[in-house]
C-alpha cells in the first residue's frame, strides 16, 4: 500500500499544479537552487569556476560519503555492512578560445583502483549548428537524472571511452548526436576489439522546462559495469545493445523525472534469469527554498545482476554555505527471492541503506 502511495504522490502532485504554473507563463527553473549533481554534466561543471586568465577557468570539488547498509537474508540472519569512502577530489580546467573552441580536462582521485586519475578529457568546437567533440569521456547514452547520493539502478549502462562525437542543433531546441568509441570487448574468436557506437536525441521544450530524450548504444558490455570482463575475458558471442528514454520537467519549486533503460536482447553468456537487464527510475523533488531540497524515489529493475528488484526512499539536501552542501538519504531495497546470492545457498531478501554526503566546491 505504501509503495502505491509513493508512486501516486510522484504522479498526482505535478498534474495538479502543472496547469496553474503553465497559466502564469513558462519561466526557467532557478539554476541557483541546492542539490547534489543531478546529472553527470552537473557534476562535470561543479565548482566555483575561478578565472585564471581570460581563456582558462579552474574549478574544484571535494566529496566525502559514508554509507551504512543492513541486509536481510532468507535464513533469517542479518548482516551489517559499513562503507566509508575517503574524500574524492575533482579538479577541472576549462579552456575557451576564439568563441568556437573549448577544451575541458577533468582529473579525479578516489580510492577505487579501477578509476584512472584522468576522468575525462573533452575537446570540442562548434561551427554554426554543428558540434564536434573528441576525447575520453562518458558517451551521451542515458541521462541518469537523480537527486540521490546513490545513483539509480539504471546506471549499469553508463559508458566511458575514447570517443568521437558529432552533434547537430535545431534552433537550440533539439540536438541530435552520433558517436563512436574505442571498445574493450571483442567477439569470440576475434583478435581485434570492438568499436562501439551510439545515437541520441535530446529536446528542450516549454522554454526549457521540459527535457525529453532517448538513445541507442550498440554494445552494453562496454559499460562501466563490465558484464563480461571477469568470467568471460571481455569476449561476447553476440553483441547486445541497449536503448533508453527519459523525461524531466522542472518547475519553480519542484521537478519530476522518469527514465527507463533496457537491453535490446539477451546475453548468451548468462543464465536466462539474468541475461536481459532493464531498469526504470521515477523521482520527484520539492524545493521550499533555494537552500533546501526534499526528494523521493521509486525504481525497479529486472534481470540486473546482484541488484534489487525494487527500491524506494527519501533524500534531504541542504546547502550550508554557498560552496558547501550535505545530503542525507534512506533507501529501502526489496530483492527477488533466490536471485542475489550472498554465500552458498544464502540469498538476500531486503536491504536498508543510510547515506551521508558532504561536498565542498572551490
Q: pLDDT digits over 114-130, tens only?
A: 555 557 889 999 988 99
- Per the domain annotation, does 101 fall within a domain? yes
Range of the domain at 243: 2-61+94-305
| C-alpha distances out from residue 253 to 30, 192, 293, Å | 9, 51, 9
Q: Grade residue 18 by pLDDT with cuts at 50, 70 and 90.
A: very low
Q: Grade residue 54 by pLDDT with cuts at 50, 70 and 90.
A: confident
The three cell numbers of residue 265 are 536482447
Q: What is the arithmetic mean of pLDDT over 337-349?
A: 84
Which of 86-90, 188-192, 249-253, 329-333 has the least mean pLDDT?
A: 86-90
Structural domain count of the chain: 1
Q: Yes or no: say if 147 and 125 are a contact pair by the CB < 8 Å rule.
A: no
Query: Half-sphere exposure of residue 313, counting CA atoms within 13 Å on the CB side?
Result: 23
The model carries a pTM of 0.85
Rounded CA separation 248/250 (Å)? 7
- Per the domain annotation, does 133 fall within a domain? yes
Q: What is the CATH number of the domain that holds 269?
A: 2.40.160
- Per the domain annotation, does 52 fall within a domain? yes
- Per the domain annotation, does 73 fall within a domain? no
Q: Yes or no: say if 210 and 26 are a contact pair by the CB < 8 Å rule.
A: no
- Per the domain annotation, does 319 fall within a domain? no
pLDDT digits (tens, 9 = 90+) for 270-310: 999 999 999 999 999 999 998 999 999 999 999 999 999 99
Rounded CA separation 170/129 (Å)? 7
- Per the domain annotation, does 76 fall within a domain? no
- Per the domain annotation, does 255 fall within a domain? yes
- Per the domain annotation, does 186 fall within a domain? yes
Higher pLDDT: 19 or 77? It is: 77
Amino acid at each position: 500500500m505504501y509503495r502505491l502511495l509513493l508512486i501516486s504522490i510522484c504522479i498526482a502532485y505535478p498534474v495538479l499544479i502543472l496547469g496553474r504554473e503553465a497559466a502564469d507563463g513558462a519561466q526557467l527553473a532557478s539554476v541557483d537552487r541546492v542539490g547534489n549533481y543531478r546529472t553527470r554534466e552537473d557534476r562535470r561543471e561543479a565548482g566555483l569556476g575561478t578565472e585564471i586568465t581570460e581563456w582558462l577557468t579552474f574549478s574544484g570539488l571535494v566529496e566525502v560519503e559514508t554509507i551504512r547498509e543492513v541486509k536481510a537474508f532468507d535464513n533469517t540472519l542479518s548482516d551489517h555492512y559499513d562503507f566509508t569512502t575517503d574524500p574524492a577530489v575533482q579538479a577541472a580546467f576549462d579552456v575557451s578560445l576564439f568563441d568556437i573552441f573549448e577544451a575541458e580536462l577533468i582529473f579525479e582521485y578516489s580510492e577505487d583502483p579501477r578509476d584512472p586519475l584522468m576522468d575525462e578529457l573533452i575537446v570540442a568546437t562548434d561551427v554554426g549548428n554543428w558540434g564536434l567533440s573528441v576525447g575520453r569521456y562518458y558517451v551521451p547514452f542515458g541521462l541518469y537524472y537523480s537527486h540521490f547520493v546513490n545513483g539509480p539502478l539504471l546506471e549499469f549502462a553508463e559508458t566511458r571511452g575514447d570517443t568521437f562525437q558529432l552533434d547537430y542543433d535545431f534552433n537550440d531546441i533539439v540536438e541530435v548526436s552520433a558517436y563512436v568509441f574505442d571498445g574493450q570487448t571483442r567477439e569470440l574468436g576475434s583478435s581485434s576489439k570492438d568499436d562501439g557506437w551510439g545515437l541520441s536525441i535530446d529536446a528542450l521544450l516549454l522554454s526549457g522546462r521540459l527535457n525529453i530524450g532517448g538513445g541507442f548504444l550498440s554494445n552494453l558490455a562496454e559499460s562501466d559495469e563490465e558484464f563480461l570482463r571477469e568470467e568471460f575475458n571481455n569476449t561476447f558471442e553476440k553483441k547486445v545493445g541497449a536503448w533508453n528514454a527519459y523525461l524531466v520537467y522542472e518547475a519553480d519549486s519542484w521537478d519530476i523525472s522518469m527514465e527507463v533503460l533496457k537491453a535490446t536482447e539477451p546475453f548468451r553468456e548468462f543464465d536466462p534469469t539474468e541475461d536481459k537487464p532493464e531498469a526504470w527510475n521515477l523521482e520527484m523533488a520539492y524545493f521550499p527554498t533555494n537552500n533546501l531540497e526534499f526528494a523521493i524515489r521509486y525504481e525497479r529493475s529486472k534481470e540486473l545482476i546482484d541488484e534489487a528488484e525494487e527500491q524506494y526512499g527519501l533524500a534531504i539536501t541542504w546547502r550550508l554555505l554557498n560552496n558547501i552542501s550535505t545530503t542525507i538519504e534512506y533507501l529501502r531495497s526489496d530483492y527477488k527471492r533466490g536471485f542475489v546470492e550472498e554465500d552458498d545457498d544464502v540469498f538476500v531478501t531486503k536491504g536498508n541503506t543510510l547515506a551521508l554526503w558532504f561536498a565542498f566546491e572551490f
